[in-house]
Each structure stands twice: as structure tokens, then as C-alpha cells.
Amino acid sequence: MTHRVAVIAGDGAGPEVVAEARKAVDALGLELEWVELPWGTEHYHAHGAMMPSDALEVVRQHDAVLLGAVGDPSVPDHVTLWGLLLPLRQGLDLWANLRPARLLEGVPSPLAGRPAVDMLFVRENTEGEYSGVGGRAHQGLPHEVGIETAVFTREGVRRVLKHAFELAETRRGVVTSATKSNASRYGYVLWDEIAEEIAAEHPDVSYERVLVDALAAQMVRSPLSLDVVVASNLFGDVLTDIAAELQGGMGVAASASLAPGSDTPGIFEPVHGSAPDIAGQGIANPVGAIWSAALLLEHLGEAEGAARLMGALEDVCREGTRTRDLGGTASTSEVGDAVSAHV
């Protein structure tokens, strides 16, 4: 069966890293059709929107989405984010954002030479602090007000916590829940209560809840103590950027936005932004995009292909073919060529 994968290369360095991910996947010889969707800032300037009004319907006609990056200095960040990424995540109900944080051998890191960092972050992806509920009043006046409401629903919290515990059962069996229930009296208290309920259903999984500020410190101090970390939308966003630096930098970090248990197409993208300052120079790091493509293949049921691609990526990192952000001299395409050759 041929898999149909939508490609939203996006802005800045996005098209460059996506091209290398596609090149590496094509080297596997799988039955896969790439369908390019020219959405992003150029679409915004041409049509007044980051993507067309029927975008959700278009995406649903595919098995998965490979995305590069979205954002450009010519458009405010909140416009690009709420014009493309967040509507796709919420409209498709991609409630689980998975971000593996594993230090690949050969990648420079403050922790290089020690036992490898290997964490998996499960971030709630459709509500919480990024629910979009709120507004502004009295704009331009001295008493202008901006209100942002965090939304925690029992079902939304339950399903992401449940998924985190299920994933922990396939790993080292430890779940750490990020919370702030000492200061947030409602949303995170509900989060903690549901976490206790789910923990009771998984007695073989070790569970602890940690205040998010203490957890950030723990990630720096003793990252090897962490296995699966489950967090709200905002907390997961912040903590995974810390994790990315522990694994070598934003350029190597990958992510998957999914609706586990459904046939909804997932969105797979590197964690880094569009990096307009280096766009077009051929120096952007494609590792995160290639890793995201491996997650995409796994999602499509191509486990063998995903393993081959990930193995090739690890071989290339181990041998020292790296872009300048990792202390190397290789270009974006040279890294992609090396991974393709190892496949």
C-alpha cells in the first residue's frame, strides 16, 4: 500500500531540512507518495491566511504530515502559530505531542561521555494554557486588559496521562508528572487528582509528581533519573526545550503530534523554528527533521524502515558528519547525503 504524506515545508530553513528528510526516506525504497502543500508565510502574504479554509479536509486525505518550520519576521509570531500549527493540532485533535530526548553518540552535549540521556516527553497538545480562550479589552487605553485562560478538561487530562503510563510500560517504567498545583488551585489540582487515578491503574509503573520549577532543575542536575515526563501544553513546551539542549541542541530534536488510537494523520516536525537568520545558507541542521521522519514511518507501520533510518542517522552522528551548530563543517545536504548513503 502506498502511503500519502503531506509535506508542509513552511518557512525559513524548513524547506531545506525537509528536503533532506525526504531524501533519506526515499533511500529506503518504500511505497510512499509526497504531496506538497505550499502553506506558510508566502501563502499568508498572497491570500491573507497561513493555509486555505479547507486545510483540515485536505490534511485528512493523507496518512501523515511532514512539516518543516513556520514563522517569518514579516508576520507576528502569534499570527503564524495560530494561523497554521495550532489550528491543525486542535482541529485534528492531535492531543499527544511526543518528544524523544535522547543523546545520540557523537553529538556534542554537556553530558557527552556519560551514560546517554534518554527521556520521552508526553505533552498535552490541544488545551491547557494554549487553548485560545481569552481576549483583550480597552486596547490602547491605560487600563488595557489581556486575559488568557488555561483550560483543563477531565477527558483531555485523562487521555494524555493514560498514554504516558502506557508508554512507560514499554520503557523503564517511570512516569514523572509536571505540575504546579501549589500555586494553581484548579487546573493543576485536577491534573494531579487524575494522575493519581491513572497511576492506581498501572501499579507496575513508578509515579511521582514534581513541581515544574523543581523538575526543570532536576533535568539539569540528574537527567538520567527521568524516563517518561508528562506535562501540560505550556510546561511541556518549556521543558522540552531544556531537554533539547541536553541532547545536543534544538537542531537534533524531533516531535510527533498524534491522536493515539485513531486513524487521524499525525504531524511530524523538528522542534526548532524557522531560523530565518540562517535560511538559504545550507547550514541548517537536518537531524531533527530526519528523526521526525523516522517517527513518521513508525506511525505508518513501517517499523523496519524507521529502524533503518534511525540507525543510519546514528551512524552518521557517530562518525562525525555534523553541521556547524554541532561543531562540524558539513552542510545541510551533506548530512542528508550521508544518512541516505548509510540507509
Residue 113 has a pLDDT of 64
**CATH number for position 288:** 3.40.718.10
- In-domain check, residue 166: no
Alpha-carbon gap, residue 252 to 103, rounded angstroms: 9
Instruction: Give, for 101, the enclosing helix (H) or strand (E).
Output: strand 96-102
Does residue 224 lie within any of the structural domains?
Answer: no
133-143 pLDDT, tens per residue?
999 999 999 99
65 bridge partner residues? 6, 267
The answer to whether residue 149 sits within a structural domain is no
Asked whether residue 10 is assigned to any structural domain, the reply reads: yes
Cβ atoms < 10 Å from Cβ of 158: 16
pLDDT digits (tens, 9 = 90+) for 110-147: 776 677 789 999 999 999 999 999 999 999 999 999 99
Task: Report if residue 106 sits inside a domain.
Answer: no
Residue 10 CA to residue 269 CA, distance in Å, equals 11
Of 130, 188, 315, 337, which one is the catalytic site residue?
130
What's the structural domain count of the chain? 1
Q: List the 118-124 sheet strands across, edge first.
A: 32-36, 3-10, 64-69, 266-270, 254-258, 96-102, 118-124, 228-231, 174-179, 206-211
Range of the domain at 278: 1-94+262-343
In this prediction, residue 110 carries a pLDDT of: 76
pLDDT at res. 108: 86
Residues in the chain predicted with pLDDT less than 50, given as ranges, are none
pTM: predicted TM-score of the whole model, two decimal places: 0.95
With respect to residue 315, please indicate whether it lies within any of the assigned structural domains. yes
The answer to whether the CB of 342 falls within 8 A of the CB of 316 is yes
Q: Does residue 190 form part of some domain?
A: no
Q: Is 180 tagged catalytic?
A: yes
Q: Is residue 85 part of a domain?
A: yes
The H or E element containing residue 304 is: helix 303-319
Q: CB of 98 within 8 A of CB of 295?
A: yes
Among 63, 72, 237, 325, the one annotated catalytic: 237
Active site residue 237: yes
Cell of 214: 523543581
pLDDT at 109: 81
C-alpha dist (Å) from residue 262 to 92, 124, 150, 163, 265: 11, 16, 26, 13, 9
Q: Tell me how long the chain is.
A: 343
